[in-house]
Amino acid sequence: MAEFDPGDYRRRVLAEVLKRGGPETSDPFELYDLPLDGDLDDAAVAARVADVWGAWQRQRDHPKYRVLVAELVAGHDTRSAELLDAGRRRSAVARVRAEREQRDSGRYALLDAAVSRLVDRHRGVPADKVEGLHEVGALAGLTRDEVTARLRRHRLLAAAPAATGVPPERRRQVRALLDEFGRLTDAPAPPTLLVLLGLDPAASEQQVRASAAAWRSRARELPPARLRAVVDELLVHVAELVEPGAAGYLDAVALDVAEHLRPRVRAAVLVEDRLVAEDHAHLLEEARALGLDDARARRVLAAVAAELGAPVESTAPAPDPAPPRRDDRGWEAPLRAARAALRAARPTEAHRLVGQAQRLAGPEGATPVRAVADEITAVLDEAALRWRAAIAAVAARRSTEALEHLEHLERTAADVPGPDGADLDALLAAARREVASADAAVAAALAGPDPAAALLDVLDACPGHPGAQAALAAVPVAPPPWVRATRDGRGDVLVVWAASPTPQVRYKVSRRGADGGWRVVGRVSDTSVLDGGAPPAVEAPVYAVEAVQAGRSSVPVRSDEQTPPEPVPAAGPPAPTGVRARRRPSGSVVVCWDGPPGAEFRVRCAVPGGGWRVVGRTRDHEIEDGGAPAGAVPEYTVSAAVDGGRSAEISTR
């Protein structure tokens, strides 16, 4: 097991867990950075758990990870207990491995489907298909290492001999350019170069040259942008592949069409063990739509069926479809129905209706149908995101957040089913009940004797409730009554303070540096902290303590309390009289007074800024202050103490 690196752990583990949605999407082995393989000893596991715990503590104020770290810290005892016990740790390995397989199955679904088709066809993965599988994996967000590791499960075959005619790489280049042309023109991508030229497969050589010349003339008028570059490249392929004779190019297209139709033919013959007439007609039409003439389309279907050992039912050649009439606008009715369904928050139904409109629309209807289809797709995509966010919020008891997502789904996508059969109406009713209950609890808390504690209970039951958060923000946090700092014999500074009257608070302790800046020493729940990093000196540094609750802080209270001493009620001994101070030639100040015999007198001196310094305690009636500042004689106060009672302080002024 590698040495623990906090920075690498944050980038590799915390970032990934945060991206997936939180600790509930992970497992203890990942959270504590422990490998599943290998039998780790208890000491190594305990050390790693301690390292991770320390890393969490250092990230508690991180602007990006603080919420995640707070959840991890809250569940630390439960998660770490399973790892620290050797028996439970070994039994958890199989469970976690299965959970990871299930979690990763969605990410690898696209790659696994492609690999499965290759294995079915070739009894392995051809070497010349590996690079394409890496591209498929990249579409699903997989790295090359992840794809390579996944491919190790299957047999790697030698590359097949290159086919004659147009090479596969050239065909892929043409296909990619045609697809990009469709995206740039916001229109369906032409299936072949002939369709790009506006010609059918039976076009003559003269028609091909004339159409290509017209395209070159139009291309010169295009602005120098990406579309111009794509058209120029396509015209180069037209000149090299189509103008010398379209037959060879169509034969190359037939190879791609055969690859496209092979899984469909396999599915069609699976049950009947033959290609029935209805399926044959449908697949024949699909081959024509991909750019083949009727004869080549029939040959491709017959060849693929023969590969699979399936006979083809004889059918008469289908008549050429009649060209659509200019006044045939049958697509308008389903398009209007799709718009109405979308406005009525039924995008699933709208998607079905717009599909009907797409099948009926001719060139004149393609643009309006595509615009509505894009709008429906955007609504469905947002609904999927809203459902995932709502389910996560429900699981985390964030009812107000869940209610926001669910009400949006009710307004815009009421017929979109939730994941795992989640029912929108039931979740809405439950979220509304919980939010209403939290609203009532907030009102009761504000009328109760301890609003802060009651509002914290509301936020614990309904995290993120805006009313509770706003009400809690208006409740001030009481500061600690006093703060004291003393240095022990080792040079460390013990900071102690009185507990804040506000319940359930933590304390932020800061130390003032020599430059006047403040550095946070710690955040604790106790009423003391030992600062072992204080700079060496005779006097203890100045400390400030704030009470913190739910993101709110009290005013800081300093150890050099700035408030002047309050007069002590006259319940103790008589106060000193005749308090006076005079400066000696040496610069020190002598303070004298009259007072009751047997009393202990405390003398304090005012310091710049409003603070007070204890000069000393004595049973005499005078004291010399050798640390008095130069200049005017400062103000002094004297109080008497007898048997625990203290008199009022009497000033020299």
Is residue 50 pLDDT above 90, yes or no? yes
- d(C-alpha 125, C-alpha 128), whole Å: 9
Is residue 270 pLDDT above 90, yes or no? no
Helix axes 144-151, 109-122, angle to 10 degrees: 40
Predicted confidence (pLDDT) per residue in 413-442, tens digit: 999 988 888 888 899 899 888 888 888 888
- d(C-alpha 109, C-alpha 2), whole Å: 31
Is residue 390 pLDDT above 50, yes or no? yes
- d(C-alpha 494, C-alpha 531), whole Å: 6
Query: Which pLDDT value is given to residue 24?
Result: 85
Is residue 323 pLDDT above 60, yes or no? no
What residue type is 614 in one-letter code? V
Q: How far is CA 628 from CA 346, 589, 609, in A?
A: 84, 6, 15
Average pLDDT over residues 119-146: 83
Predicted confidence (pLDDT) per residue in 328-337, tens digit: 578 888 988 9
CATH class of the domain defined by 6-105? mainly alpha
- d(C-alpha 213, C-alpha 228), whole Å: 15
Predicted confidence band of residue 282 (pLDDT cuts 50, 70, 90): confident
- d(C-alpha 353, C-alpha 346), whole Å: 11
Query: Which pLDDT value is given to residue 347?
Result: 92
Largest CA distance in the chain: 132
Query: Which pLDDT value is given to residue 328?
Result: 56
Average pLDDT over residues 394-410: 88
Predicted confidence (pLDDT) per residue in 465-476, tens digit: 888 777 777 778
2.60.40.10, 3.30.1370.60, 3.10.105.10, 1.10.10.10: CATH of 483-558 = 2.60.40.10
Average pLDDT over residues 2-16: 87
Is residue 319 pLDDT above 80, yes or no? no
- d(C-alpha 477, C-alpha 392), whole Å: 32
**Element at 294 (helix H, strand E):** helix 294-307
SS3 126: strand
Predicted confidence band of residue 327 (pLDDT cuts 50, 70, 90): very low
What residue type is 527 in one-letter code? T
Query: Which pLDDT value is given to residue 569?
Result: 46
Whether 140 and 107 have beta carbons less than 8 Å apart is answered as yes
Is residue 510 pLDDT above 90, yes or no? yes
User: Based on C-alpha coordinates, what's the Rg of the chain?
Assistant: 41
Cβ-proximal residues to 558 (8 Å cutoff; 6+ apart), any chain: 483, 542, 543, 544
By C-alpha distance, which of 481, 637, 476, 636 is closest to 558? 481
The three-point CA angle 424-428-430 to 5° equals 120
By C-alpha distance, which of 3, 25, 205, 579 is closest to 14? 25
**In terms of DSSP H, where are the helices of 448-538?**
451-461, 466-474
Predicted confidence (pLDDT) per residue in 153-167, tens digit: 888 887 654 445 688
What's 239's DSSP letter? I
Torsion angles phi and psi, residue 580, rounded to 5: -145, 155
- Report CA dihedral (617, 622, 628, 633) to the nearest 10 degrees: 130
Written as one string, the DSSP assignment of 629-647 is PSSSPPPEEEEEEETTEE-
When mean pLDDT is compared across 10-24, 342-356, 567-581, the lowest value belongs to 567-581
Q: pTM of the predicted model, to two decimals?
A: 0.34
- d(C-alpha 625, C-alpha 41), whole Å: 65
Whether 277 and 284 have beta carbons less than 8 Å apart is answered as no
Q: How far is CA 20 from CA 103, 195, 504, in A?
A: 10, 44, 32
When mean pLDDT is compared across 159-173, 181-195, 343-357, the lowest value belongs to 159-173
Is residue 593 pLDDT above 90, yes or no? yes
Query: Which pLDDT value is given to residue 162?
Result: 44
Predicted confidence band of residue 557 (pLDDT cuts 50, 70, 90): very high
**In terms of DSSP H, where are the helices of 396-423?**
399-412
- Residues of the chain within CATH 1.10.287 domain(s) are 6-105
Residue range 577-651, CATH number: 2.60.40.10
Is residue 321 pLDDT above 80, yes or no? no
**Residue carrying structure tokens 């003439």:** 293
By C-alpha distance, which of 502, 447, 509 is closest to 484? 509
Please count the other Cβ atoms lying within 10 Å of the Cβ belonging to residue 386.
Answer: 20
Predicted confidence band of residue 382 (pLDDT cuts 50, 70, 90): very high
- Residues of the chain within CATH 2.60.40.10 domain(s) are 483-558, 577-651
Query: Which pLDDT value is given to residue 163?
Result: 42
Please count the other Cβ atoms lying within 10 Å of the Cβ belonging to residue 120.
Answer: 11
Is residue 595 pLDDT above 50, yes or no? yes
**Residue carrying structure tokens 């406005």:** 343
Please count the other Cβ atoms lying within 10 Å of the Cβ belonging to residue 185.
Answer: 13
Instruction: Look over the chain and give the mean of its residue pLDDT values, rounded to a whole number.
Output: 84
What's 240's DSSP letter? I
Is residue 565 pLDDT above 50, yes or no? no
Q: How far is CA 259 from CA 254, 295, 304, 496, in A?
A: 9, 17, 9, 78
